Each structure stands twice: as structure tokens, then as C-alpha cells.
Amino acid sequence: MAFTWCVRRSASRLASLCSTRMVRVRSISAVVNSPSLAPTSSPSRPFALYSTAIDRMSSEQSLLRVIDSEINTALQIDDPDLDEEMAPGSFPFKIEDNPGHQTVTLTREYKGEHIKVVVSMPSLDGDENDDEDDDDDGHSNGSSIPLVVTVTKKSGLSLEFSCMAFPDEIAIDALSVSNQGSTLEDKLANEGPDFECLDENLKKTFYKYLEIRGVKASTTNFLHQYMMRKVKREYLLWLKNVKKFMEE
């Protein structure tokens, strides 16, 4: 009886142990086969990446076509030979114009003086044909060119005029005296009074002073045309640089 009881007890424990292990195996199998852990398949992802790449290429190609069209239009308008033809026969200055720079420098020698004119890009504040858009001095605000005229003596002493060139006329805004090596503070200290506050005869004398040295209406009229063409040339250069970037 004792032996039979031991056998039954051992069989019962073995059955219980096997049952527990089967439950664990099923639990592990359920976890392993869970949809959340199964490798996901995304057949649409490669297509999405391919589609994005195609869209990007199409966008860049479209941009390049528009840039090419703009370049061709600008090339048809631009004729560098006209710059020399536009200069008046008595134009006394040497022109220094570097592509990519926003200014043009004119230089000449006159009776022992070195004259330099720094010409900035035109300021287009409105319609060039709008005669009603005038400032307080009666100048047209449609188109103007900032000029800085520096007349330097052999001693290094300079007279600097800040001007604005309008069609057929020049307006002096300010003038100052400086020496070679002068600091900005020195130049500010020597700016003098407001030019408009000067005596009329003195103002006329300064305008005559510039005219004798070649800074006059015929010069600024040429500069206006020249700088308007430079605006177009700089735009063409910018387009070419953008195209070069897009093609790399």
C-alpha cells in the first residue's frame, strides 16, 4: 500500500510539473508570435522614397529651366560694347568696374590733384516717369545715384563731397575736409555746416568747382545709364551663380 501511494504521488507531481511547463511554453509562444513583435513589412515605403526623389528632381529641373530662360533674356539685352559707346567724347575719367561689386570707381588726374568718384547703385524709389514725385528741393525721387567725390592734393589733404546725382543735375549733400590717415572721428569733426545752410554764392562756387573737374550733368547722365546696365549685369551674374549651385 505504501509503495502504491508513493507511485501515485510521484505521478501526480510529474503531471502537475508538466502542466506548468506547458503553460509557460504557450505563454512564451504567444508573446513571440505577438503581432506587435513580428517584423513589419512596409511595401509602400520604398515607393514613397522614390516618389519624393522624383519630385525633388522635377522641382530642380523646373527651376533650372526658368533660370536658363532668365539668363537668355538677360544676354539678349546686355551688350558690353555699348558701355564704351555711351561715354561722352569728353569723358575724362578712367572706369574701374569689378563684377560682383556694388560700386564703380572713376579716377583722373587734374592739375596735380587726384580725383576719385565712387558711384553706388541707383536708388529706384518709384516710377522714373513720375514727375510729381519730387523731394523738398525739387529733385525727382524716381531715380538717383549716390556719389562720393574726393579731391586729394599732393600733400594728402582731401576735400570730400557727398552728392546725389539726378537726371541732368547734381545735388551736394555735404562736404568735409580730411587728411591722409584721418580717422572717422576726425572726418566727422571736419564735416562742416549743413550744405543747404551755406550762402548761395558759396554753393554755386562749389558746384562750379566740381564741374571744372569733370563732375557735371553730362557725366552723371552717362553714369545713370551705365549703372542701370550694371544692375542688369549683376543680376545676370547672380543668376549664373545660382545655376552653378543647382547643377552641382
Residue type present at position 186: D
Report residue 112 as a C-alpha cell: 596735380
Q: pLDDT-derived band of residue 167, with 50, 70 and 90 as boundaries?
A: confident
Residue 137: DSSP 8-state: T
The CA distance from 186 to 176, in Å, is 10
Quote the pLDDT of residue 73: 82
Q: Specify whether the CB–CB gap between 164 and 146 falls below 8 A.
A: yes
Q: How far apart are CA 228 and CA 218, in angstroms?
A: 16
Q: Distance (Å, rounded) from C-alpha 94 to C-alpha 32?
A: 86
Q: Among candidates 177, 181, 186, which has minimal Cα distance to 159?
A: 177
Cα 46 to Cα 37, 58, 222: the distances in Å are: 22, 18, 61
pLDDT score, position 83: 55
Residues 215-237 have a mean pLDDT of: 90
> Contacts by 195-200 with C-beta closer than 8 Å and gap 24+?
196/137
pLDDT confidence bin for 171, thresholds 50/70/90: very high
Q: What is the mean pLDDT of residues 102-130?
A: 84
Identify the sign of the CA torsion 240, 241, 242, 247: positive
C-alpha cell read off for 114? 587726384
- Mean per-residue pLDDT, 65-86: 72
**Checking phi first, is residue 73 left (phi over 0); if not, alpha (psi -120 to 50) or beta?**
alpha
Q: Which helix (H) or strand (E) element contains residue 166?
A: strand 158-166
Which tens digit of pLDDT belongs to each residue from 76-111?
Answer: 766 555 555 556 667 899 999 999 999 999 999 999
Rounded Cα distance between 233 and 100, Å, is 9
